[in-house]
Amino acid sequence: MVETTGGGPQDGAAEVLDRPLPDGVRRRVVQIAADGFGGLTVTELPAQLRQYARFTPSRRAKFAGNAMASALESDPLFRQRIGERLREVQPELTGALDSGSPPPAADPLDVAAAAYVLRPPGWVKLVAAAGEEAQRADAERADEESRAELERLRAELARARERTRSETERLRTELEAAKKESESLHRRLRSALSDVKRGEAALRKLRGEMEAVRAEGSAQVSAAESESRRLRARLGEAEAALEAARRAAREGRSVEDMRVRLLLDTVLDAAQGLRRELALPPVSVRPAETVDAVEPGRMTPKDIAARALSEDDPAVLDQLLALPQAHLVVDGYNVTKTGYPQMPLEKQRLRLLGQLAQLAAQSGAEVTCVFDGAELAAPVLLAPPRGVRVLFSKPGVTADELIRQLVRAEPPGRPVIVVSTDREVADGVARAGARPVASAVLLKRFSRA
């Protein structure tokens, strides 16, 4: 129910809207308030709207829409200020509303929203008319969308029917082909069954003949197997004896041959090294060359004396490794526990083997590193580095004993250098013909590299 009072343009403020504001009109009203919001100072805003003073118009409309709509309804002063901003922005529309004749071509929602803010006489009717117009427009739009959806569904149904028809034809064709294939398979199956029956009869006949042959052959096989077992036993004994004899001969010959060849290589390399060291000419000695004299560039006795090195000098190790066919045997844990005992055993092994690999590459000597197997809590998965042989002593055998076995396995005359600080090991290998070197000398050699 709309109540109106006469008395001029301001009489519209007494009119009351007896129904909710239509959604379309409400959105336009909130947009008008959001646009005019920025032209007001903070003191001119209602208290509940001051927190949105720095928002953009779009953010005000999104986050402060309800608060602005409530302020427009309950705060006449705020509504009047928004109306003044609206008059500045849309003077033609607001002037037409004040004169009581809104433009016919204007959007009903814009007219209703402006009327709601300005409250001219008859504004309630404008708002109600805009709501009815919006409802009619929504209804027409819904009808239009329904008709479009109906047309779309009809077209979709026609396409579905066409697909169903073509699919039915295809399935019918495939069914006919499957029927023909099935009839052909039935004929082939009947023919195969006949062949199977004939084959089964022939098989039964053959089984009878085979049983007779098997019985006759079984007796012959039994006799042959007895003779074969007897012959195999005699042949196995002969082969075992022959293989044992061959193995004994081969092992004895291979070890002796290896020791002889290695010793011969050592002697030849030593002779060549001695020839280079003494700078012997390739020709035979002439009588004039036996005269005692020092030639230019040759080493004097004083120079030879200056070459003497201390036992702790790592250069001693270099001279020993430079000997022909030199073999370096290292007591692994003796070296690591002398140089870096604080490290775990695994890291000790890896560090020592890496340094030995560099030394082997530099010197070209044969290098064997021996570790005590009693120190291991579990089997070691270790890939030996290039040029280094890694050995662990067996249970019940110490690394010292394994080193002495390695020294004894070498032929007499081959240069064997054993690195260990253990005095018992050093004395034992020295008696066997090897040269002991202290672990500290090897560690100094590593630090110099």
pLDDT at residue 171, as a whole number: 92
pLDDT at residue 296, as a whole number: 46
pLDDT at residue 123, as a whole number: 73
| Tens-binned pLDDT, residue by residue, of the chain (449 aa) | 333 333 334 455 556 665 677 777 778 877 877 777 777 777 777 877 778 777 887 887 777 778 777 777 777 888 888 878 878 777 777 777 777 677 766 777 777 777 777 777 777 777 776 667 666 766 677 778 888 888 888 888 889 989 999 999 999 999 999 999 988 898 889 888 988 988 888 898 888 888 888 888 888 888 888 888 878 877 877 777 777 777 766 666 666 767 777 777 777 777 766 666 666 555 454 444 444 443 444 444 444 444 556 778 888 898 899 888 899 999 999 999 999 999 998 899 999 999 999 999 998 999 999 998 866 656 666 778 888 999 998 888 889 999 999 999 888 888 999 999 988 998 888 998 899 999 999 999 998 86
pLDDT at residue 280, as a whole number: 55
pLDDT at residue 53, as a whole number: 73
| Cut 0.85: pTM above it | no
Beta bridge partners of 391: 370
Residue ranges per structural domain of the chain:
9-121, 301-448
pLDDT at residue 305, as a whole number: 43
| C-alpha to C-alpha distance for 158 and 152, rounded to whole angstroms | 10
Domain 301-448, architecture per CATH: 3-Layer(aba) Sandwich (3.40)
Strands across the sheet containing 327-331:
388-392, 366-371, 327-331, 416-419, 435-437
Question: What are the residues whose beta carbons fall under 8 Å from the beta carbon of 133, sequence distance 6 or more?
Answer: 108, 109
Chain segment 151-169, per-residue pLDDT in tens? 888 888 889 989 999 999 9
Question: What are the residues whose beta carbons fall under 8 Å from the beta carbon of 361, sequence distance 6 or more?
Answer: 386, 387
Beta bridge partners of 369: 330, 390
pLDDT at residue 275, as a whole number: 66
pLDDT at residue 221, as a whole number: 83
Task: Name residue, tokens 């036996």.
Answer: 290
pLDDT at residue 61, as a whole number: 74
| Number of residues that make up the chain | 449
From 35, 232, 23, select the one nearest 138 (Cα to Cα): 23
Beta bridge partners of 115: none
pLDDT at residue 270, as a whole number: 72
